[in-house]
A = this chain, B = another copy of it.
Amino acid sequence: MATEVFDKQKTIDLRKKYIGPSCKVFFNHDPIKIIRARGQYMYSEKDEQYLDCINNVAHVGHSHPEVVSAGTKQMELLNTNSRFLHDNLVHYAQRLQATLPEKLSVCYFVNSGSEANDLALRLAWQHTGHKDIITLDNAYHGHVSSLIDISPYKFHQLGQTEQSQHVHAPSPDIYRGKFREDHPDPATAYADEVRDIIEKAHAKGHKIAAFIAESLQSCGGQVIPPVGYFQKVAHHVRNVGGVFIADEVQVGFGRVGSHFWAFQLQGDDFVPDIVTMGKPIGNGHPMSCVVTTREVAESFMSSGMEYFNTFGGNPVSCAIGMAVLDVIEKEDLQGNALRVGKYLMELLEKLKEKHPLIGDTRGCGLFVGVDLVKDRLKRTPATAEAQDVIYRLKDQKILLSADGPHRNVLKFKPPMCFSREDADLAVGKIDHILTDFSTIHIH
């Protein structure tokens, strides 16, 4: 077992001294110290076991031995840049491509989702010769400066409504958005909003380089766009020479259960021009990827500017990436996400019948949101209650988070080995907490 170097208070003190104060911990009032983890469980310095319902990076389970072993073996042999030929780079690219539509065939390996989305913008700008990016309300695409501009999630926190020249389309949220589940065709209605935005931009002399969206909005409140929305948006955007960027950083690699990529939920007739990947790709190892079409890749090359990424696509990262693909397949984690996700949704549906605080439950595989409301008709976000649930769950050794623009959506995105028993445990605890709430409310 791991031992501590410092006691917890000392760790907190050193963190205050040496780490940027903008870097926040979970549960700020009483943060958790974790010293080891395995599968879907994390362990504190006191060896308390926490059930992890939130870590979508530890995709195939924390510290998976096959992933560790693949990384170790390759570290022992070689870790260098992609200016030398290496089989891991091309082998991994080949295997990753096999999970995607044929048209998406050219890979760029980078180190983080932020680097991936920034490169996606560079590809779009170069390919189209246009400058404007359409992003969704409440979107989050990363922390480098170009992405803060297209991440309303970030600057809305600051009470700023507009901070960049880029335009936001309404989030295709059929529970809380402009067009709801009672609308006859929300996919078309939301896509028409994008069309109108394009027309307005054109009227001002702007030109659209890209539309970028997470295939399922994650920080934005676990939003599942209506089927057909992406096809219609892509049609409008391509009509004016722009490209469609699908951000799979949080939701790719089988999480949605029925498909390997979340954009595939929209149907086989939808293929993005650029796909970005991240968090789960290396089970925690810093790596990411951008995949695009030959056409876009050729445009990017035609600028004459070399693209070199020091660490991107190194043999260790690629070995780890391949091990992650292996484990997903061997352990049927995509199937598990489908089955356990369905079971979790059933449990949550039952909970919704019992507790009026639950306004909506929505999910695909192990990507699940529980929208808490003070009033089911008005759908008033129950922000304080959501925070309370999270803190109480933490006290009971369940790690869950609340997100969305109102911070009222309980967000399940656990490691993919999450089991029915784990679902029972987590939902059971939530049931108790909500029952407690209603008791307090009644008396």
A: which residues have CB within 8 A of B? 2, 4-6, 8, 11-12, 14-15, 17-26, 31-37, 42, 55, 57-58, 62-63, 65, 67-68, 71-72, 75-87, 89-91, 93-94, 97, 105-108, 110-115, 118-119, 121-122, 125, 143-146, 148, 154-155, 157-158, 278-279, 283-287, 292, 297-298, 300-301, 303-314, 316-317
Contacts and interface: CB of A to CB of B under 8 A. Distances in A.
Given A25-B84, A33-B84, A63-B76, 8 more contacts: A19-B108, A32-B85, A62-B80, A72-B72, A110-B112, A125-B145, A143-B307, A284-B316
B15 A89 contact: yes
Nearest to A22: B307
Contacts of A24: 83, 306, 308
A97 B19 CA distance: 11
B85 A62 contact: no
A64 to B, nearest CB: 9
A77 B35 contact: yes
B18 A106 contact: yes
B284 A6 contact: no
A317 B286 contact: yes
Contacts of A283: 79
B310 A279 contact: yes
A108 B20 contact: yes
A32 B84 contact: yes
A27 to B, nearest CB: 9
Contacts of A309: 23, 112, 114, 143
B58 A80 contact: yes
From A8, A37, A144, A158, name the one whose CB has the most chain B CB atoms within 10 angstroms.
A144
The 9 A-B pairs at the shortest CB distance, nearest first, are namely A14-B90, A18-B93, A79-B284, A286-B311, A22-B307, A33-B85, A286-B286, A5-B87, A111-B111
